[in-house]
Amino acid sequence: MNKFKTLLAGIFLLGLIQWTFSQDEKSLKHECLQTMHELNTALADLQIRNKEDVNYGAIQCPHCNILHTRAAEAVFPFAMEYQQTGDKNFLLASIDLGNWLIKQQYPGGEWQETPEDWTGTTTDQLLMMAMAYPVIAKSLSAKEKENWINSIRNAADYLTREMSPDFASINYCATTTATLMIANQVVPDEKYTSRARTLAHEVVAKMDEDYFLFGEGGRVFGIKYGVDLGYNMEMSLWGLSLYSRLAEDKLVENIVRKSLKIHLNFVYPDGSIDGSWGIRSNKWTTYGGATSDGCQIMFGLHAHENNAYGTAALKNLEYLRGMIKEGLVGYGPHYYHLYEKPPCIYPTFAKAKNLAMTLEYTTKDMVEPAKLPSDEIGKTNYFKTVQVVTKRTKNFMATISAYGYKDIEKGYKSKYMYRPTGGSICNLWVLDYGFLQASSQTQYQRWEPMHFPEAEGILPITPRIEHADSNGYFTNLYEFDGILSIESGGNNTIVSTRGELKNMKQQPCGISYIYSHEFSDDYLVKKVKVSYHGIRSDVSIVEPIIWHENMEFEMENDHSVLITSSDKKFRFEIIEGDAELLIGGIDKDKFWSPYPSLRAFPIILEVPYRGSELSNSVSYKLSIIN
């Protein structure tokens, strides 16, 4: 498959021939094709080509050293590459991969997500098989055609029987609405379109007043709750949108259109996607999610409605390219600095799938540059249903979360209960620089061993207030009942959250807090007030700073730290209150995260209890100094 690597120049030439555009416009299809080719080439190089091998045609994951059945979703990206370039190597790669996947199918029509036994991902595999079939059908033998048709029909029958909100998280149901409509084009059956319509209406019924789709978390009386921004953007919304187009379902189309407008607010100016606060943010990568598809197909389906959608698709694609090395997509900006081993191929085939669908279904190719909502200086968004605020100033953009979702049944044993919340900044971005602060799991756990790398003993990179004593560890990050408020302070905006320091079991320790953030064009002031209504003890404020290459942290004096990078300088300084300022420490190398792949440098404020006060406050400032 090394021949694939010679095609890049040809694709550039093809782009020049097929697309002519002004200096201010870009072709979404051309850009998607370039990146899809890079990902496809890497995946094809991992394909088993020895015909004597029982797994001939499968794709071997270099990280996990197993054969993921979901990797066969590359069957459509390979087919699309053939359709766009005429390269028969990709035609053969698609056919062989599909033939292998058919052999893995169970008699009931489902596929297990190897090495685990979950079958909800059958919807993803069927969708790619059904999209690929019309492209490669003429090149299949009579027996292969029969096998493909039977496989597609059996999988569609399985989804028609099994897929529902009672069976799976909501993104699977949303995807299945599109999957069944596409399957119906290959193996027509009224029951597929009927089930797709029923599912679509069940899914959109789970939109809240802000048009966030809930149903990604735990169950209460059999009903799933919880919003995840990443899965909404990269899975559910495009599934519903594609369904509505194929089914001509205006009700669903109009609801999705309103939801898309809200979700656009979480595309940052550099194209990164802020999935930091959602209940499945344990897979957030900054460009999207590690196992979700991508946003280009969603924005592409609506590109004709608003130039900002095409702009968002292109900006995110450009941002994603910074995470790719030798054709494989890492888990975040620092992946290839933190790991020597190549990443699991899930992000690579998922993003290739998304780009292939964009090539097929985008409604407007030529994108005229437009401002995103995140480009609007001074803009404050308050999403009341999820208690999340985004704020843009001249030089900063931030997200603060007090999202209160709880997994009632599983509690602290739930993977949804370790996301950043409690009024912490989940994301702090600086113009012409990038991430200054971000967030990760409050306690890193490998909830899905297949997807979560080993990272024993690491500490969260989320800014936080914390206290530890003989009763355990308590932090604002476990406060799911925080009260968030917004006020104007002159030309600035102040976002505050009131709550209790709690442990993972939601038990308070007797210290309450107010965590405030005042945003200005060139600085951010944070203020923490702690009140001692039960125990009286010291409290720590931990403010990790994303530790990019060549950054230096220098104590200027006992209340100020100079932060120097190759691009900018910042100052972190205590401006009011009684606190000891510390940097680094013996645990400094533990401040990193697989998802998103980032490392951070800890700045810690030790707030002492002096023996008589009822409360204590400290204010500190993070400013841009050049």
The residues, ordered by sequence, that sit 6+ positions from 458 with a Cβ below 8 Å of its Cβ are: 444, 590, 591, 592, 593
Q: What is the DSSP string of 528-579?
A: EEEEESS----EEEEEEEE--TT-EEEEEETTEEEEE-SS-EEEEEEEEES-
Spatial contact of 596 and 440, defined as CB atoms under 8 Å apart: yes
Distance CA(161)–CA(551), nearest Å, equals: 55
Q: How far apart, in whole angstroms, are the C-alpha atoms of residue 523 and residue 622?
A: 6
Interatomic CA distance for residues 240 and 252, integer angstroms: 7
Give the helix/strand (H/E) hosting 592.
Answer: strand 592-593
- Give the pLDDT score at 99: 99
The tokens describing 101, both together, are 């996947």
Residue pair 592/458 in contact (Cβ under 8 Å)? The answer is yes
What's the length of the chain?
A: 626
**Given this model, what pLDDT does residue 17 score?**
44
DSSP one-letter code for 591: B
- The span from the CA of 625 to the CA of 81, in Å, is 48
Angstrom distance (rounded) from CA 322 to CA 60: 24
Structure tokens, 87: 């390269």
Domain residue extents for the chain: 1-45+290-332+345-370, 49-149, 163-266, 376-624
CA 216/CA 170 separation, integer angstroms: 6
Query: Taking the mean position of all CA atoms in its chain, how far away is CA 418?
Result: 16
Amino acid at position 30, single letter: H
Among 600, 147, 181, 569, smallest CA distance to 395 is for: 569
By three-state DSSP, how is residue 152 classified?
helix
Phi-psi label, residue 457: left if phi above 0, alpha if psi -120 to 50, beta otherwise: left
CA dist 264 and 401 (Å) reads 17
DSSP collapsed to 3 states, 230-272:
HHHHHHHHHHHHHHHHHHCCHHHHHHHHHHHHHHHHHECCCCC
Phi-psi category of residue 378: left, alpha or beta, with phi > 0 → left and psi -120 to 50 → alpha:
left
> What is the mean pLDDT for each group of 10 consecutive residues in the chain (626 residues)?
52 48 81 99 98 98 96 99 98 99 98 95 99 99 99 99 98 99 99 99 98 97 97 98 99 98 98 98 97 98 98 99 98 97 98 99 96 97 98 98 97 97 98 98 93 93 98 98 90 95 98 98 98 94 97 97 96 97 96 98 96 93 95
In contact, 563 and 572? CB cutoff 8 Å:
yes
Handedness of CA 251, 253, 257, 263 (dihedral sign): positive
Q: Which residues contact 565 (CB under 8 A, 6 or more apart)?
A: 433, 548, 550, 551, 552
Calculate ∠ Cα 176-233-82, nearest 5°.
Answer: 65
Q: Any long-range contacts for 474-477 (C-beta under 8 Å, 24+ apart)?
A: 474/501, 474/502, 474/503, 474/508, 474/509, 474/511, 475/422, 475/442, 475/501, 475/502, 476/422, 476/423, 476/424, 476/501, 476/513, 476/515, 477/420, 477/421, 477/422, 477/424, 477/442
The architecture of the domain spanning 376-624 is Distorted Sandwich (2.70)
